[in-house]
Amino acid sequence: MAYNFTEGLEHFRQLALAPQAALHAPDEMLFNSLTALRQDFDLASKRGIFNPLPESEPPIAQDAPRLRTIRSRLAGLGYLRQDAGLPIRDPLLIHAIKKFQQDAGLTTDGWVGRQTWQALQELVSFERQGDIGRWFIGNNGPCRALERAIALRLQVLGLTDTPACHEPAGLAAGLQRLQSVAAFLQLPGKEKIRPEVCPATIALLFDQDLLVEGLAAGHPLPNDADHPLFAFAACMAKVELWLAGYEVTPNGYEGKEFFRPTPQILLLGNDSELFAALAAYWRDHGKKEESPLLAQRFAGEFPAFFRMITAAIRAGKGLAATEKSAMISRMAGKQPEQLAAIWQTALSLGGRMWDGLGRAAGWLRNLTRQPGGKMVGIGRNISRLVYHQAMTAFELARQALQDFPVLLDQAFSREPAGSDPRHIMMRHDRDLAFKVYVNTMGDPAQINHFTAQVSRTAASFAAACRIIALCLSTLHTMVSQGRTGWAGLILALLQVSDQIMAHGRHLAPAPDSTGPGRLPRF
Amino acid sequence: MPEERRGLRAALESLRDATCDLTSLEVQTYTGNLEVLFDKDKEVNIASFEKVLEKVKVSGTLKLAAMTKVNLDGDTFLLTSENDLPLHVQRAHDAAVQAGMETRAALLSLFANVIGIGG
């Protein structure tokens, strides 16, 4: 799908250049501005420029990257036979989503909203998304979705060799290999690792960063060529190369058959995909002459490779949000005419679009600190960093726009919700005059609760106003510079993304707006 | 006009009514024993705010505990009772002041940007 980047910002441009706008009253102008902004945001989503999680309507573009990612993840977990390109309304896909939701203890509606998307992220992506322990059901062990995720992870990391290992015996065999690897690499907490599905073992299995650090430590290698460490190291390399943007696919992903590399096979370079990716990696990291040899010697010298990965992980973790935002904005701003190509690349990445972003940011940071360094996988990594940064800002700005009427209604409500004469009442008069009545016999806890709610409501309204003001101001600058296509919107979002994200932390989800007397979301 | 745009229109119209004066922000916090007004065993109709206030006034137990006025230029006037206020009362008063200031500053910022576009 090709994107027309000359489109975009049409409504906003018309408004900004309209000479009669100054004649309107401020609230009329605000209405026109918010409406134009909302129309352009909707158009960006409709045209597939941004792919936010749909709230009620299915995406128009059936090959939208999010949909591909959802299918790929469901297929990896065994809920779909394969990623057969099913459209969002296909009964097979809806059935698969419902089964996943049921197994994960989520609302079973067959729709991937924020909660289901987050669950898929936590259970499938490699960069830590949250506490994997939350998928255990009390003392009753893991939920069914976690069992499948464990089976997938064991397969991806070369610890099992069939995709149907979510049976207890298969899981136990894979976890036994994990135990051997953990003991050999002397990983922290290795004594708690058992060949069974328990929180400590599963936390380690999903801690990709810790596993990388273990492989980077450089312990003497085992003499036994069949030791699970070798297959594990090779499969971990595949994952890290995939996350870094190289042409290689982890086992179990995108229909990949299992392949168990042994030291002998690696020496012979028979896993051509892994071999080529490793050689490319070393070449891009300044080892042009030695790159084939370094790839061939991977089985014996893999710690050096994982030390490079560790450096990117650490650099990513040490990157402040403002520094990251400025770095990405600078990168995109240098060649704005390249944005269409950047977008095209980003939207073709599938699941990789939503994984390994911390590593990519760390890689970029290290790169910018080494003048003359080769741009490793520049197309893919820059693309997904730029897309993700702009997308995050887009989603927050869209939420601010949607929630604005409800938040405004709350902020200027004469009697804030929760007023109770037994504890506290608040009256908000026309201009900004508040009268607060505190009952001396009231419960301080109830009073504090009400007070906190008033503070949250005001902070949320202020955050929405600030985000919208930032968008209006920056887009106005873009329009005045003649950047009226989608590039203008993207550059504007990138420029203020760190500020939008900072305000976005105070943007509470709007309460149900469908109740009687409530204003609808915009 | 689509429903969501009607919602925005309605919200902005209420804003026009509500914010005839953004220049002055004032918070008055009263304390008092309102218990006499209610039968503890019965559900309180908390919607009848005006009626509650009328009864409170009659009871004469309400005391102005704190008052803060913040002008647009930042000048702040503060009035508090002689005795220290309980922490939760002070918090409630401060929260209202803070909410008013945040709301006013954010709205002014929004309007400034909108007028900037029009100009």
Q: Which of A55-59, A203-207, A370-374, B104-108 has the lowest mean pLDDT?
A: A370-374
From chain A residues 33-72, the ones with a CB under 8 A of any chain B CB are 33-35
Q: Which of A6-15, A255-264, A485-494, B20-29 has the lowest mean pLDDT?
A: A255-264
Q: Please, which pLDDT band fits residue A351 given cuts at 50, 70 and 90?
A: confident
Between these two residues, A52 and A369, which has the higher pLDDT value? Answer: A52
Residue A515 has pLDDT above 70, yes or no: no
Chain B residue with Cα closest to A474: B113
- State the DSSP H helix or E strand holding residue B26, giving kind and residue range, or none if neither: strand B24-32
Tokens of A443: 């419960």
pLDDT at A441: 83
User: What's the pLDDT tens digit per position in A460-476?
Assistant: 999 999 999 999 999 99
Structurally, how many domains does chain B consist of?
1
Q: Are A194 and A179 in contact (CB under 8 A)?
A: yes
> In the Cβ-directed half-sphere of B28, how many Cα atoms lie within 13 Å?
9
The one-character DSSP state at B31 is: E
User: What's the pLDDT tens digit per position in A222-247?
Assistant: 888 778 898 899 999 999 999 988 88
pLDDT at A513: 37
Q: Are A41 and A398 in contact (CB under 8 A)?
A: yes
Residue B7 has pLDDT above 50, yes or no: yes
Q: Please, which pLDDT band fits residue A181 given cuts at 50, 70 and 90?
A: very high
Return the closest-CA partner of residue A176 out of A161, A189, A162, A160: A160
Burial of A6 per CB tally in 10 Å (0-12, 13-18, 19+): exposed
Tokens 């690897």 -> residue: A181
Q: What percent of chain A has pLDDT over 70?
A: 87
Chain B touched by A432 (CB under 8 Å): yes
pLDDT at A164: 56
Instruction: Give CA–CA dist B60/B63, Å, rounded.
Output: 8
Q: Please report whether residue B36 resides in a domain.
A: yes
Radius of gyration of chain B, Cα coordinates, nearest whole angstrom:
19
Distance from CA of A4 to the nearest CA of B (A): 26
Q: Which of A404-408, A414-418, B84-88 has the lowest mean pLDDT?
A: A414-418
Between these two residues, A400 and B112, which has the higher pLDDT value? Answer: A400
CB atoms B26 and A16 under 8 Å: no
Q: Please, which pLDDT band fits residue A255 given cuts at 50, 70 and 90?
A: low
For B63-88, give the DSSP string.
Answer: EEEEEEEEETTS-EEEEE-SSPPPHH
Q: Which among A424, A439, A444 has CB closest to B33?
A: A439
Chain A touched by B3 (CB under 8 Å): yes
Residues of A in contact with B100 (CB under 8 A): 432, 434, 458
Chain B touched by A459 (CB under 8 Å): yes
What's at B86, amino acid-wise?
Answer: P
Q: Which of A240-244, A285-289, B31-35, B66-70 has the lowest mean pLDDT?
A: B31-35
Residue A47 has pLDDT above 90, yes or no: no
CB atoms A432 and B98 under 8 Å: no
CA angle A427, A433, A25 (to 5 degrees): 115
Tokens of B20: 């005839």
This prediction has a pTM of: 0.85
Q: Please, which pLDDT band fits residue A310 given cuts at 50, 70 and 90?
A: very high
Q: Which of A54-68, A73-87, A360-374 has the lowest mean pLDDT?
A: A54-68
Residue A426 has pLDDT above 50, yes or no: yes
Query: What would the mean pLDDT of A390-404 be, rounded to a whole number?
Result: 94
Distance from CA of B74 to the nearest CA of A (A): 15
Query: What would the mean pLDDT of A337-358 be, rounded to a whole number?
Result: 86
* CA dist list (Å): B118 to A16, A21, A480: 7, 5, 13
Query: What would the mean pLDDT of A419-443 be, rounded to a whole number?
Result: 83
Distance from CA of A488 to the nearest CA of B (A): 16
Task: Please give the ipTM for the structure prediction.
Answer: 0.83
Containing structural domain, residue B108:
22-118
**Residue A448: CB atoms within 10 Å:** 17
Query: What would the mean pLDDT of A8-31 be, rounded to a whole number?
Result: 80
Q: Please, which pLDDT band fits residue B30 given cuts at 50, 70 and 90?
A: confident
pLDDT at A459: 95
Burial of A215 per CB tally in 10 Å (0-12, 13-18, 19+): buried
Q: Please report whether residue B78 resides in a domain.
A: yes
Burial of A140 per CB tally in 10 Å (0-12, 13-18, 19+): exposed
Q: Please report whether residue B87 resides in a domain.
A: yes
Return the closest-CA partner of residue A415 out of B47, B94, B31, B65: B47
For A263-288, give the DSSP string.
Answer: HHHHHHT-SHHHHHHHHHHHHHTT-T
Query: What would the mean pLDDT of A407-414 be, rounded to a whole number?
Result: 84
Instruction: Give CA–CA dist B56/A20, Å, rounded.
Output: 52
Cβ contacts below 8 Å, chain A against chain B, sum to 215
CB atoms A468 and B110 under 8 Å: yes
- State the DSSP H helix or E strand holding residue B25, giving kind and residue range, or none if neither: strand B24-32
Q: Please, which pLDDT band fits residue A514 given cuts at 50, 70 and 90?
A: very low
Largest CA distance in chain B: 60
Q: What percent of chain A has pLDDT over 90?
A: 40
CB atoms B12 and A440 under 8 Å: no
Residue B70 has pLDDT above 90, yes or no: no
Q: Please report whether residue B51 resides in a domain.
A: yes
pLDDT at A294: 86
Instruction: Give CA–CA dist A285/A398, Å, rounded.
Output: 40
Instruction: Give CA–CA dist A71/A93, Å, rounded.
Output: 8
pLDDT at A268: 44
